[in-house]
Structure 1
Amino acid sequence: MLIIEHHELWPMKGMVPSSDLDYMIPFGKARMIRAGSELTVATWSHPLHRVRTLADELEREGISIEILDLRCLDRESLDVAAIVESVERTGALAIVEDATVSHSVGVHISDLLYPEVFGLLRHPVARITGKDVHIPVSRHLEESALLDDSDIMNRMRELAR
């Protein structure tokens, strides 16, 4: 098992279960963050929090986004059943991740899912990622290469229709 934490999560604060010191996240089970009817967004780590905020904005526009926190990304542990159930309801799937197009986990996830969801989709599985470039060292240039909220918002809006 490999646990990877996103550096943008370090300053975040949230509730930590304190009543049970043996609190565990179920391995291999995706968590539905919000129910929706027009688009399933599968994501994890830092983009999850961004997608949740953007989905709230789209909700005010009348666009209903379902969000799944995949949590486990490897072939054996990916909760394919949860994703398929969600796509059955929405008819569309977007995978949002903090990676470049050429270096993404999303391509492997979509490859694994296609046989299960192909007949359910209104259009191909969308991968919403950063630009297809090497990540620059300069903070200013890095920001222009990474996943952008306006890109996420525009793609989710487009895919939900």
Structure 2
Amino acid sequence: MVFTLENRILDHYQILQKIKRMAFEIYEQNFEEKELVLAGIHENGYFLAQRLAQELREISPLEIRLMGIELHKTEPLAHDIVITPALPSLTDTTVILVDDVLNTGKTLAYTLREFLDKDCKKLEIATLINRHHTRYPISSTYTGYSLATTLREHIRVVLAEDEWNAYLL
């Protein structure tokens, strides 16, 4: 895959700007909470959750806890979903699942089942980019960038130390 300026849809600065705006939206919708759990899907969703947590700590008094979610994205039923750290209880806690791109909704749908029996107060979804091709009943509560694409096009988000960019391929 070739990443060029021509197919870049978000650069480093724009991604950070989207994350900051999402953090404000999250705080506005959850300002009465004492704490939030941000659960990022490895690996880009976790990086985004870390950055959202940093922004939320700067703008709000909320206690922010981070969780990482690892699952096999192409065969989620054949492999265990691992959540770290394993929290003893999420009762009466607002949880926000974080991923880089919402495409079909499959990854988030399988991830949701891990949280449904935890008695969360509220379960929301934050995605950097929403492609609007969902095949599962999943929608993003907080979206950084909404982009209508064809089914043949793909979004690649690169969140490396020296490069934060999103590309349309």
TM range (shorter): 0.3 to 0.5
Structure whose residues are more often strand by fraction: 2
TM-score with structure 2 setting the length: 0.46
Structure whose residues are more often helix by fraction: 1
